[in-house]
Structure 1
Amino acid sequence: MDTAATTKNDPYASLRIPEFNYYLIIRFALVFALTMQFTIVEWKVYALSHDPFTLGLIGLAEVIPAVLLAPFAGHLVDKREKRGMLLICVVAYIVIGSGLFMLTWDRAVHGFSTQLVLNCIYTLVFLGGIVRAFVSPSNFSMLALLVPRPLYANASTWSSSAWQIGGMAGPALGGLFIHWFGVHWAMLLVVAIFLAPLYSLLKIKPKPILYKSQGEGFVDGLTKGMRFVWNTKVVLNAMALDMFAVLFGGATAMLPAFATDVLHAGSLEFGFLRASVAVGSLATMFILAYRPLVHKPGIKLLAAVFGFGLCIIVFGLSKNFYLSLLALLISGMLDGISVIIRQTILQLKTPDDMRGRVASVSSMFVGSSNELGAFESGFMARLMGLVPSVVFGGCVTLGVVITTYIISPAMRKLDLKS
């Protein structure tokens, strides 16, 4: 690697590494295709059921295998070549996307009951959760094999930016394509987009396996990542804070219901609402590429998550489309701070031979909390009503931040300069 690229004050340092640019394409294309797919599935499921609880079941179907398989997936990823693992996962996503494409084709499901179509969709989402259990640790582990250690923070910023661009474009275009072409043809585009990471992976050379067993047993190997996270309090606290914030403060799962029943908007406005969180987060990512969070990042993280909770409360109470859009936009900007700090903590604190397992624990804490949050939102919407459930979740998020501030001196004193 070019040692000149390690200059700390160069915001484009990691972008000067060719394979890292292919990695960014993989990050972007995967989340772009998956968020577009999830948006289309959400719209289709709600159109079939008209029940917010079914939106929560989508998240539950994905999170069950993602959580249950996470320890095994992380252990396997650490022992295997990362590029090859990602290739298998992308091919699996293409197969699953093709199945969803068929399920959204009226001619293909002619004669199927609505419940049967829903069950088939949930099954494919469940299979996607299995794949996701391996994608997250493979992605996280590969980044550290592409850039030198001094560039981990810079690379994490650009990696998160690529993820947020995909997360912004996927829902927005998903809503637009539903509006322009219909659900069926929009799903076909998802399948085509998966070809981009497939091509990019072929441009990256296989990477060395850094796993060191040191005579450890199978169970020890599986649980080593969990023990590392538990013993590294700043990592544990960052994961827990983000997990509870997303779990109780996530409102995006209920957006089809909010767009339709509260804001009385259509698929186009739904796409804008779905994308607004990622737009705000993306803006933060670009700012932080030039102005890294090195001064009291722990306090800034807590403040950002507290502001995120306030935005969710405003969104839940709003009946105006533009106010709801603004609340989600600002929540995304604040969430971007959380993402950057958490990813930098993980890259700097995790030993090279444990990256897959630690990333799997992170996916259990943080990544899966999106889907658990979707289920929680759907369940609470049925129990309390749509608007009260979102406001309640925002209030719980505020409580989590206050509690973390009180009990976690490691978070208050967090330093990312090393």
Structure 2
Amino acid sequence: MEKVFSLNNEKSNKKSSKNTKSFLFLLIVLPLILISLTNNVKSTSYSKTIFIDNYIIDYSYQDAVSENYFTLRVNITNNQNSMKNLTLKMQEDDPFEFKDSRRWEIENLNSSQSISKNFVIYIDKAESKKYFIDFNLKDDEYDWDEKFEIKVSTNSPEFSLGTISSSPSKMAPGQTNVALSITIKNTGDYNAEDVVAILDLPSGFTPSGSYSNEVHTGDINSGTTKTLVFYFDIDKEIKQQNYTSTLNLNYKNDGEDEKKELEIPLIIFSTPRFEITKVEELSKLYPGSKSKIKIYLKNTGKDAKDVTLRVYQRNDQPFEFTEKSVYVGSLKSNEIGYGIFEFTIDKNADPMKYYLDFQVRSIDGQDVIVDDVTSSINILKKEINVGMYLFYGIILLIVLIVLVVFLKKRKIKERRN
């Protein structure tokens, strides 16, 4: 019997030891698990104090999330003599909706006494930013207007616009490959993953190349900024006014596809604009000749200063310009100026039409405005000089006549002899 008792006692001790170890394991590991789970839950609490005369108003709330309920706890402390008929009334401003009454009536509040009340409030769909709930506090003697500051968050990334700039700095009709830089910031509490930004352009704007209005930015974490650069061309006939484009941000939030849209202003300014109205040939354009042309340039935009006209010299064209740039001067709106170009045409040039590309540079305030214009010239066939051939023909005929006469006279003389 003693042996049996001893064996059972030993088993009991082992079981007790095992239970103790299990308890210690749970005691150590369970808090770590709870801490880990807590760290994965985004929870924020806010509290502030407002001093109104002899009243102290403490208010606090937790997790004011868009499209969710939250509880606003308000505590009023009276630091003066006992007061009667104290009332606090809040305004129901967007995006807040009160579940119950917004009015809090307190019949008596003794000196140094505190009293609290909870208000359950629903937040309509809202951006992640600070909002305010206006309220009025009134007692038997006075009333005061104040506001509660509520920081609303969302369960997704939120984006705000930063700086917007372009190169050239002033967008104008006819410009090509305009670079538009847009800085955005993720102001939300969540990260945006695999962000793809697409700029939808209004009529009169076209992407400069394939996917030049699309940028893959990667992740934009909470609180960070990214600068996006898009390239587009502006139609020559576009009106000079304000336009709006849409920046579509497509991304993943915890593996789910989401999308945000931001409006981007595009301002088309009035600038000097130019067109070639006439090309005057100051001499005939023949292969092998040294020629001059007069280019008439009209300013169809606003007044311009220091206008210069530069011709693009192309290697595949059979002529060489003496000077590639000429100074035209200042041109007012609708005024016409001109520039004269001298060039040598290759003797083997094919008689045909050739297109000439010009760059017009002008000054508009502090900006240099660049415009491209095109015109053409015709190189003619080299004319046959009929007069010269006629002259040589007559000379040859005279020589032949003289020769014939000479030979006849010689024969006659020989016969006589």
Structure with greater strand share of residues: 2
The structure whose Rg is larger is: 2
* TM-score interval for Structure 1 and Structure 2 normalised by the shorter chain: under 0.3
**TM-score normalised by structure 1 residue count:** 0.19
| Structure number having the greater helix percentage | 1
TM-score (norm 2): 0.19
